[in-house]
Amino acid sequence: MASEGTYYVPEQSKLPIFASLGLFLTVFGAANWINGNDTGPVLFTCGSILFAYVLWVWFSTVISENMAGLNSAQLKRSYVWGMGWFIFSEVMFFAAFFGALWYVRNLALPWLGGEGAGAATNEFLWKGFEHTWPLMVTPDMAVNGEAARVTGPEQNMSFSTAGSLWTWLPFWNTVVLLTSSVTVHFAHTALKSAKRSAFNFWLGLTVGLGFLFLGLQAWEYVHAYNALGLTLDSGIYGTTFFMLTGFHGAHVTLGTIMLLIMFLRSVMKGHFKHDDCFGFESASWYWHFVDVVWVGLFIFVYILG
């Protein structure tokens, strides 16, 4: 059992090297996949599998060390700080994307439309283009008409185009995700009260809601591509829409996997106690962060157009 004044230092490991290799292959493969390279899907799949395997081995080792009592209070505090800084880095990640959306809507497009310092740009390059958001008519369409290489979508995803609130898919996405934030809080409360059955129930329900959200978002993407003409190629509106919602969907996927692993650890291994449950707590913090980001997306991407 580690004491308060000790800090457990693990043995040297090659896992960080393989983790870096897996991430490199994943990102490199994704870039090639997007650009139409046939090797992209293969590299992406191999990198993802390698990275997932490394994480499995790495976290299994950390869990075993904690179960063996090797983790001191000081080391556990470092885990808390590490997760805190990780979530902060994610906050800045999304802040950059929200900043890009603000820049496009409030500065770049008005300038292209001839407002302020963009008068000359509009007169000589994009004559006839008018700034609107969501951008349905791109500058290229305004100048070249049907011959434009970059065309806008046929319809946008904002609430102004919805038939009603009850048939609007983003509303139900929001209901599902906010409900999951409540259920994961109930799971946390149950664990702190040493109620294992209630903890498993609420955590399992949270995982189910996470997968439901991902299914609804996939449905939304299919609808956007097939019925609305909203794609990655449909101008800056399509690009920012899929950039923001897509990266958020990736974070929901990660959060759902994290919570699923915590659920399986509890059900199959009996892990977590009311006073030793950092693994679950860190995953729940991440899940609440993902929910807060979605509220911002719902307001600025869907409600405000």
**Residue 38: CATH number of its domain:** 1.10.287.70
The CATH number that applies at residue 236 is: 1.20.120.80
Confidence band for 48, pLDDT divided at 50, 70 and 90: very high
Q: Which two tokens stand for residue 241?
A: 């829409």
User: In which band, very low, low, confident or very high, does the pLDDT at 237 lie, cut at 50, 70 and 90?
Assistant: very high
Residues 57 and 295: their CA atoms lie apart, in Å, by: 34
Domains of the chain: total: 2
Q: Are 86 and 174 in a shared domain?
A: yes
* Amino acid at residue number 238: G
**86 and 55 share one domain:** no
Q: Which residue has the higher pLDDT, 64 or 45?
A: 45
Residue 96 lies in a domain: yes
Check whether residue 46 and residue 87 sit in a common domain.
Answer: no
Confidence of residue 45 (pLDDT cuts 50, 70, 90): very high
Question: What's residue 118's pLDDT?
Answer: 66
How many CB atoms lie under 10 A from the CB of residue 216? 17
Judge if 33 and 61 occupy the same domain.
yes
Nearest of 286, 274, 280 to residue 203 by alpha carbon:
280
Q: Is residue 1 part of a domain?
A: yes
Residue 163 lies in a domain: yes
Share of the chain above pLDDT 70, in %: 97
pTM for the whole thing?
0.87
Cα gap 31→156, rounded to integer Å: 27
pLDDT class of 201 with cuts at 50, 70, 90: very high
Tell me the pLDDT tens digit for each residue of 171-185: 999 999 999 999 999
> Helix or strand or coil: residue 181?
helix
Q: Domain range holding 65?
A: 1-71
Question: Is 135 among the domain residues?
Answer: no
pLDDT at position 28: 95
Give start and end residues of each alpha helix (H) in 145-270: 169-192, 196-223, 235-264
**What's the rounded mean pLDDT across residues 256-265?**
94
Is residue 16 assigned to a domain? Answer: yes
Cβ atoms of residues 272 and 279 within 8 Å: yes
Domain assignment present for residue 132? The answer is no
Task: For residues 66 and 165, state if they share a domain.
Answer: no
Query: Which residue do the tokens 């909203």 mark?
Result: 230
3-state secondary structure of 138: coil
